[in-house]
A = this chain, B = another copy of it.
Amino acid sequence: MIRIRAQQIARGLSQIIGREFLKENIKTSIKQPTQSQSPQHPWSSVSSVRTIAMLPWPFSQSRDFSLPNSSWGSDMRRLYEHYNSQCEVETEEGGKKWGAWRRLPSYNRSIKFATGGVYLSKIIQSKARLFTRSVKEPGAAFEYVMFVNKEEEKCVCVFQAGHLLEGPPGHVHGGAIATMIDSVTGTHATYLSGPVMTANLNINYRSPIPLGSTVLLTCSLDKKEGRKTFVSCQVTNTDGSKLHTEATGG
């Protein structure tokens, strides 16, 4: 993944890491402009946060697609609960504090007046939806939720593949698997290095994924080189005993 420059920042941010997360980080950046310039800060490349913050995002009206719905099977719910319970933990005094993991919200719209959009017809601009969230029927296509662990530099995604993702009969399309890998590696690299775009994706398909099943994508940092961030991703069954696909993204 290659870190993108200030003028490109509007692109891809909201759908990758979720608007609320971005909103929160932007607030922080505005309040503490000097701190946000630290080289270690994930948003260090955000040189003009004010422009982004002024964009008219309808935060309150957007549905967060990464929350449980009636289509989620038992595997999906169990893994969601497993990671979600580690997002907020109880303190010794009976209060609550942030845990090791953090759930990333997910929306189906990207920034409305982004740079890329000016070249498009108004019809396409108004109807555009994030690929992985473009099907309205719950459970029909991509059902997923991502969690990040800052300390361990790790990102996981619980993914339930719906009936509209078929490739080989009864199994998930290789392109749908690639789509989830691209989304998770892109999200993780953005979390680690600030806004990035995928430059390379190398995928090895080991074993087909049955349609309707839930799998776990686990993404970890390989290395950072200048503006480039390299991550790797494994797609396994829910207990990790069977490897379906493995990939590297850079």
Contacts and interface: CB of A to CB of B under 8 A. Distances in A.
A120 B180 contact: no
A222 to B, nearest CB: 16
A135 B116 CA distance: 24
A163 B117 CA distance: 11
A76 to B, nearest CB: 15
A165 B131 contact: yes
Given A12-B168, A164-B129, A211-B128, A175 B174 contact: no
Contact of A134 (B131, B164, B169, B212): B164
A174 B200 contact: no
A167 interface: yes
Interface stretch (A88-96, A107-115, A146-154, A226-234): A107-115
Contact of A199 (B15, B132, B204): B204
Copies in the complex: 2
The dominant DSSP class at the A interface is mixed
A183 B179 contact: no
A208 interface: yes
Nearest first, the 10 A-B pairs at minimum CB distance are A116-B170, A175-B179, A114-B169, A178-B178, A131-B173, A134-B164, A12-B168, A110-B169, A117-B170, A127-B163
Given A11-B170, A114-B168, 16 more contacts: A12-B168, A15-B166, A115-B169, A117-B169, A119-B210, A123-B163, A128-B163, A129-B163, A130-B167, A131-B164, A173-B182, A174-B182, A174-B198, A175-B183, A197-B205, A201-B201
